[in-house]
Structures are given as structure tokens and as C-alpha cells.
Amino acid sequence: MDETIRRGEVIGGKYRIEGVLGVGAMGIVYAAHHLQLDERVALKALRSELVAYPDAVKRFSREAQAAAKIKNEHVTRVFDVGELPDGTPYIVMESLEGEDLARWLAARGALRLEEAIAFVLQACEALAEAHALGIVHRDLKPSNLFCARRPDGSLSIKILDFGISKIAVLATSASQSGRASGGKSVVGSPFYMSPEQMQSSHDVDHRTDIWALGVILFELLTTALPFEGESLPEVCVKVATRPPRSLRDLRDDLPEEVEATIAKCLEKDPDKRFENLAEFAGSLFPFAGKRARLSIERVVQVSRRARSMAAKAASDGASTGRHS
């Protein structure tokens, strides 16, 4: 395993490393102790073998930028960024207690309908704010939805890993040409990728996240996937040309309306999907518990505010054009 940082080492003069929490394709997450604040934090460092690749460093930096821009309890808070003496970038984030939904499914099996909807709607709260900022996650999946416990004992979903997000306001010529995320390589997780994302990882909008939410809700309710295959090409063909598996063939206790909601998320043509997260969240209202309905209200409010701001910006632009 990468030995970039060792246990007991103090990073940036204030973060003492206590151990490794996890290792991913891009980075290593360490448990750390903030010495001045006497607080447990998580420190994520880019894998040392990737530091020599500018595109990997940019992608890692985008994760911190995207997460910091979204002021929502369902996104992991970013406290600090920095570099090790050898130039390795790191991000300091809040420490979470719990497990991601991939592990939850493996350990406990399918979720109850109300529980699955509550988790997905919490993710929608954060994504609605991201979409309002022009940020598309592009890699939503159960392993990137972390189930943490609040002080009152209730459960809270935190969206992880905005590293391959498309940030409209920060887009560079490199990312637009496909170089920033590894050239022509597939960016995202194939089982959760929309047809348009499989064709071009960069020419996608917020509706690719809506597709992924449909896949995730299907999986949370059944532990299965709507499109499965033994190889990547087989999965791609099914996503592009085949209808999804029937939800109610796997769980006949689920309402037809929930199956219809998921089917609308999984329309091949983005124009036939829900136009935005407010529409998606609203379709789940009849099956949501009291707290989850509060999530729907927040999603609708964020979407309404974003549309209002967009309309005002368009009006101001038109006015400027008339007077120039």
C-alpha cells in the first residue's frame, strides 16, 4: 500500500495522522487529529504515483472546489487543502462515522421503501444545490453515498467524491477537450452511467445524475441493477438499447408509481426524463415519510430559486444587450 504518509506524522503543522481509513483509485483517506482544535478529521491525499500527472492533480483539486461550493449538510464539509513537501495535494474533511450504502446493502439487503426514498431524497437536497451552481456529479453510486449518524441518532446521507464532477463555472479547455479526466477513458461507473455519458463523459448535464438516482433507487429496493452484464460492452449495449428490468418482477410489494418514477429516470432520451430534481422528488411525495417530505420541500425551494436567478440573469443580459 502507498506509504505517502505514516502514522504519527504531523501534516501542515496541525494534522496528526492516526491511521488509514480507506484506499481508492485516486486517493488514500487517513484518520487524523486536528491538534489545535482537538478534533478528529479525515485527510485525503492523492496517491503518490499520480502526482506526476497534471490531469490527476486537477481532478483531485476539483473535488475540494466542488464540495466547498455546496453549502449543504448532505455534502462532506471541506475544512482545508494543502500540499505535502513532495507536492502531493491533500484535502481535510469532516470525519464521518457510519458506512456507505454499498456496504449497507451487502450487510443488510434491500431497504424498506420509505427508508430508500428518504436516503435518495437527502442526496437530492445536496444535488439540487450542486445543479444550481452548475455542478454535475457524474459518478453517483451507493459507494459514494455515505450513511452517517446525526447527534440525535437519525441517519444522514453524505455525498462523497465530486472528483469527476463537471463544474460549468470552472470548466477549462483541457476538461472540455477530454484531457482533464484521462482523455477518452470512461469517466464514471458503467452500471450507473446514462447512455449519453457512455458516449461522452463531458457532454452531459444534470439529467445524467437523475439517471443515476433512478439506478440507485432500483438497487436500494432490490439489491439488483436495472442493467446487468458480464462485461462492460454488454452493459453498455443494454443501457443504450434495452429497457430496464422490471422493478415489480423483483419486488411485487412495491407500488406501480415507484416503478414508473424509476422508469422515467431511466429514459434513454434525456428530454424524456424528469426535467429537474424537484420533479423527481415530487413524484416520490406520496411514499415519503414526514422528514423525507421536508427534503422534498428543500429541493423544490432550491430549484425554484435557481430558476428565478437564471431568469433574472437572462433578463439582465437582454437588457444590457438592448442598451449597448
Topology of 98-308 in CATH?
Answer: Transferase(Phosphotransferase); domain 1 (1.10.510)
Q: How far is CA 82 from CA 2, 17, 44, 85, 245, in A?
A: 19, 15, 10, 10, 46
Give the pLDDT mean for 298-308.
90
What pLDDT digit, counting tens, does each position of 63-90 carry? 888 888 898 999 999 999 999 998 899 9
CB burial class (10 A; 0-12, 13-18, 19+) of residue 15? buried
For helices 113-132 and 207-222, angle between their N-to-C axes, nearest 10 degrees = 160
Answer whether 20's CB lies under 8 Å from 32's CB: no
Hey, is 83 helix, strand or coil?
strand
Comparison of pLDDT for 237 and 2, the residue scoring more = 237
What pLDDT digit, counting tens, does each position of 119-130 carry? 999 999 999 999
For residue 95 the three cell numbers come to: 470525519
196: confidence class by pLDDT, cuts 50, 70, 90: very high
Q: Is the pLDDT of residue 152 over 90?
A: no
318: confidence class by pLDDT, cuts 50, 70, 90: low
91: confidence class by pLDDT, cuts 50, 70, 90: very high
Give the pLDDT mean for 192-216.
92
Gap between the terminal Cα atoms of the chain: 60
Strands of the sheet containing 89-94, edge to edge, are 10-11, 15-23, 27-34, 39-46, 89-94, 78-83
Pairing of strands 39-46, 10-11: unpaired
- Max distance between CA atoms of the chain, in angstroms, equals 63
What whole-number distance in Å separates Cα of residue 249 and Cα of residue 306?
Answer: 38
The number of residues in the chain equals 324
Give the pLDDT mean for 205-219.
97
Residue type at 282 in one-letter notation: G
| Domain boundaries 10-94, CATH class | alpha beta
Catalytic residues: 139
For helices 113-132 and 290-323, angle between their N-to-C axes, nearest 10 degrees = 20
Answer whether 292's CB lies under 8 Å from 114's CB: yes
CA-angle at 122, arms to 65 and 71, nearest 5°: 30
Q: Is the pLDDT of residue 21 over 50?
A: yes
Please, what is the average pLDDT of the chain?
Answer: 87
pLDDT given at position 182 = 37
Domain ranges of the chain: 10-94, 98-308
Comparison of pLDDT for 170 and 40, the residue scoring more = 40
What whole-number distance in Å separates Cα of residue 32 and Cα of residue 40?
Answer: 6
224: confidence class by pLDDT, cuts 50, 70, 90: very high
Hey, is 27 helix, strand or coil?
strand
What pLDDT digit, counting tens, does each position of 245-285 carry? 999 999 999 999 999 999 999 999 999 999 999 999 999 99
171: confidence class by pLDDT, cuts 50, 70, 90: very low
pLDDT given at position 1 = 42
What whole-number distance in Å separates Cα of residue 147 and Cα of residue 156?
Answer: 6
pLDDT given at position 169 = 36
241: confidence class by pLDDT, cuts 50, 70, 90: very high
For residue 296 the three cell numbers come to: 422534498
The pTM of this model reads: 0.85
CA torsion sign, 256 to 260 to 266 to 267? positive
